[in-house]
Structure 1
Amino acid sequence: MKKVLSVVLGTSVLLAAGCSKHDAPASEQKTEAGLQKVVLASTGSDTDVWKFISTLPETKKAGIDLEVKNFTDYVAMNNATANKEVDANAFQSYNYMVAYNTESKAKVAAVSTTYIEPMGIYSSKYKKIDQFPNNATIAIPNDAANEARALSLLQTAGLLKLKAGFNPIQGTTNDVVENPKHIQLKPIPMATAVRVKTDVDAIVLGNTLAMEGGLNVLKDALFYEPADQSTKLYVNLVATAAGRENDPTLKKLGELYHTAAVKKFIDEKFGGTKIDVNKPVSYFTENKQ
């Protein structure tokens, strides 16, 4: 596990502490209209989706008054969720959640699946993967889960080979066993990723950050992940504090995400880059699709 996640966990506690903490989970609170108050943390394009969901008549019909809070720090979101300062969050993939739970005393758990956004390889200098020169520098995420995911993608693209039994959640650059082009892997904070895109030969980006930089993974990436069983660990989810994952009110959030109105909104706003995945939570650990 990368030490950087531990560092971020420590510093992000301060950010999370700044949130207003409920005396009881928000879903136990009722509004004047008799709706159950639910506070959900999210970030970037996901915030846009959940704010749209909060306006739907289906949400009110489900008995939910949904408040969406925008965060800029991933670990702070999980800290706030685990500590019940917010009821749930929607930003992370399954493998990121596992990495967080490995490092943190506080735990979060999956409520429902939402979508998968393919991770892609982008370059301002080259149009094809096979054009990368020897000693090319490729920037990859420096948080544990996304670093392992990026390395898996680079292997699928044929740029390097990872050791047998590579851990798709905790694997690191130390697990590279073959690197025929002597690719220089440069782990960087993903918050700064788009800004350094022109400073390196290529960069591996998750789709949320790519979109914030004006990129569409299906059109602009030189290579991107397939959306199938092989990438199920990268499916995004709604998460809550461990022990609350079967809360019937929170389960309704997953149902709302997969409504026709939301699918239409996502397709129109995000160019097909958020691929709907409506599976039970057991999908992450089962052997078959």
Structure 2
Amino acid sequence: MKRYMMIFLVFLVGMLAACGGETTTKEAGTSKTIKIGATAGPYSDMVTKAIKPQLEKKGYKVEVVEFSDYIQPNKALAEGSIDANLFQHKIYMETFAKQNNMQLSEVIVVPTAPMGVYSKKFKSWKEVKDGSTIAIPNDPVNAARTLTMLQSEGIIKLNASVDPLKASEKDVTENQKSLKFQPIEAAQLPRSVESVDLAAVPGNFALAAKMNLLDAIQLEKMPDLYRNRVVVNTKDLDKAFAKDLKEAVESKEFDTIIDKEFKGFGKPEWMVNRK
């Protein structure tokens, strides 16, 4: 009986050791997976070329999910089908979250394609003739950005009592070139370059239309609130993957790829000011 008992105990210990070995192997071999959504074009490219490689070095399996509009990336994030997204600036994020009862938070601000004033007729503001027509975005946020950009160049002046983020054509108090403003759907602005004297084109639409940012006669000195950011659900902000995302963007390798592959993109303050 003792012999059989000893055999049973040896068998039992062996089974427990085997189970313990399987658990250790499984835990050690567990892969970290992260799904990042981005609009097709430059920001999908940024995730693929500049962020994904840095996360893979940390052991992540990265899946890039492309979207063709500005609605689905946040819906997918809230539903949990992606872990993070990259496509929106602060004002859009906060407005969308409020309107859709979502809790969204930014992880880090990234280099962003600035709005630019483009022309087939003029190469500089000095050449622009009085009374020229400039096509501008017809949505309030981008229209205000355009007017603020023109004011920074001294082309117009806005009412000093008006919040620049909410400025509209009626707030223009001085118009040095007597410009005529023609509001147009933002997505149509790249095409308008062919038919109007000047066109203020948001960076994402300019790149989607294969325009060279460096061809602009003026590029926006973009404040950080208009730069795109990596965004997660607020409940995930302190999770390891969010911190690793932040570190990936802060890496020297990310900076090097931006300089090489994303010429004309304006860098956020934290990149410009870091030593």
Q: Counterpart in 1 of 2:43?
A: 46
CA distance in 2, matches of 1:247, 1:40: 15
* Counterparts of residues 135-154 of structure 1 (less than 5 Å): 135-154=131-150
Relative to structure 1, the CA distance from residue 55 to residue 102 in structure 2 (aligned partners, 3 Å threshold; closer, same or farther) is closer
TM-score, with normalisation over the residues of structure 2? 0.76
RMSD: 3.0
Matching of residues 207-226 of structure 1 within 5 Å: 207-217=203-213, 219-226=214-221
- Separation of aligned partners in 2, 1:102 and 1:170: 18
- The C-alpha deviation readout for 1:24-75, integer Å capped at 9, x for no partner, is xxxxxx999522322211121111121124652x423424222111112123
| 1:212-247 superposed Cα distances (whole Å, 9 cap, x missing partner) | 333333x311112336xxx23223211122443333
Q: 1:81 to 1:259 in 2, by over 3 A?
A: same
State the distance in 2 between where 1:161 and 1:243 align. 43
Q: After superposition, give the CA deviation of every residue in 1:126-178 in whole Å (9 maximum; x if it has no partner).
A: 11213333332212223333222122101112222222243344433343333
Amino acid at match of 1:46: Y
Q: CA deviation at 1:99?
A: 4.1
Partner of 2:227: 235
Q: Hey, what does 1:109 align to over in structure 2?
A: 105
TM-superposed CA distance for 1:262, in Å, is: 2.6
- 1:125 aligns to 2:116 (yes or no): no
Structure 2 CA distance for partners of 1:180 and 1:109, relative to 1, 3 Å: same
Give runs of aligned pairs for residues 1-289 of structure 1, distance below 5 A: 34-43=30-39, 44-53=41-50, 56=53, 58-101=54-97, 103-217=99-213, 219-226=214-221, 231-271=223-263, 273-277=264-268, 279=270
Q: Which has the larger radius of gyration?
A: 2
**Is the contact between residue 99 and residue 144 of structure 1 (CA under 8 Å) also seen in structure 2?**
no
Q: Is the 8 A contact 2:87 2:228 kept in 1?
A: yes
> CA 1:175–1:143 in 2, change beyond 3 Å: closer, same or farther?
same
Gap change, CA 1:55 and 1:159, over 3 Å in 2 = closer
Task: Decide whether the 8 Å contact of 1:258 with 1:278 is kept in 2.
Answer: no
> 1:88-146 CA distances to partner (integer Å, 9 max, x unpaired)?
11122223334434544334221112124332211111112133333322122233332
Secondary structure (helix, strand or coil) at the match of 1:233 reads helix
Are 1:120 and 1:205, in contact at CA under 8 Å, matched by a contact in 2?
yes
- TM-score if structure 1 supplies the norm length? 0.73
Q: Structure 1's 196 and 107: CA in aligned 2 closer, same or farther, altered over 3 A?
A: farther
Cα displacement (A) at 1:197 = 1.4
Provide the rounded CA distance (Å) in 1 between the counterparts of 2:96 and 2:174: 29
Residues 149 and 221, structure 2, Cα contact 8 Å, conserved in 1: no
Aligned to 2:17: none
Q: 1:93 to 1:55 in 2, by over 3 A?
A: closer
> For 2:142 and 2:80, how far apart are their aligned partners in 1?
25
Q: Name the aligned partner's letter for residue 277 of structure 1.
A: P
Of 175-184 and 125-134, deviating more is 175-184
- Residues 51 and 249, structure 2, Cα contact 8 Å, conserved in 1: no
Give SS of 1:186's match: strand
Structure 1 counterpart of 2:201, which letter?
L
Q: Which has the higher helix share?
A: 2
Q: Tell me which amino acid in the other structure corresponds to 1:150.
A: T
- Return the offset for 1:278: 6.8
Gapped runs of 5+ residues in structure 1? Answer: 1-29, 284-289
Rate the CA distance shift 1:186–1:101 in 2: closer, same or farther, 3 A: farther
Contact 2:119 2:198 in 1 (8 A): yes
Matched residue type, 2:252:
A
